[in-house]
Amino acid sequence: MAADIPSIAVLPLENFSRNPEQEYFADGMADQLITNLAQTGALRVISRTSAMHYKGTKKSLFDIARELQVDKVVEGAATLTGSRVRITVQLIDARNDRHLWAESYERDLRDVVSLQNELALAIAAQIRQELAVRTAPVSRLRSDTTAAYFPIRPASTRYNDRRSCSCFGLRTPSQLERLL
C-alpha cells in the first residue's frame, strides 16, 4: 500500500431499529457510501464484500483496520422509525481510535433509494473534505458544472493544476479564477 494514498473501510451500518426487515436499508446505505467514496481517485476504498465480513463482529476497530490494511474506518448506524430515518456516521483514525468527524442525519422516509443516495453523497463529501483528498477527474464526475467540481477539491490544488484549467478550455489558472 502506498503511504501517500489514504485507505478507508466503510463497515456495515448497525440496524438500530432491531427489526430484521430493516437490514436492507442499513446495508444499502453502507453500499452507497462505498460506491460514492470509491469514485475518489486518490482514496483506496475496501470492497463491500470484504467489509461485510465484519457485520455484527465484536472485534476492535484497531484489529479490523489492521486486517483490512486501512488507515481510516467509517462506522455508524441506521434507525428507521415509522416514516423517519436517522443515520449516524463517524470517520475514525484507526491507528489511534480517534474520531475525525461525526454527523447525524435525520430525514423523512419517502423514496428509500433517493434518500440513500442523498445521504451517501453528503457523507462522502464530508469525508473527502475531512481527508482533504483530491477527487476523481472532472470527466468522471456526474455534473457538467464547475461549481460542482471545485468545492470538493482542496484549495491548494484548485488554481495551480493546469490540467483542471484545460478541462474547461482555459489556458491559465487566472482565467479559471475569473470564471469562478
The full DSSP string for 81-104 is: ETTEEEEEEEEEETTTTEEEEEEE
Phi, psi dihedrals of residue 49, rounded to the nearest 5°: -60, -45
- Determine the longest span between alpha carbons in the chain, in angstroms: 57
Is the torsion defined by CA of 56, 15, 112, 7 positive or negative?
A: negative
CATH homologous superfamily for the domain 7-131: ABC-type transport auxiliary lipoprotein component (3.40.50.10610)
What pTM did the predictor assign? Answer: 0.68
CB atoms within 10 A of CB 87: 25
Domain spans of the chain, in order of start: 7-131, 138-179
Which cell goes with 1? Answer: 500500500
β-pair type (14-15, 72-81): parallel
Q: What is the pLDDT along the chain (180 residues), one digit of tens a residue?
A: 445 678 999 999 999 987 888 888 899 999 999 998 998 877 899 999 999 999 999 999 999 999 999 999 999 999 988 888 889 999 999 989 999 889 898 888 887 788 788 888 888 888 888 777 544 443 444 444 444 434 444 444 444 444 444 444 445 555 544 444
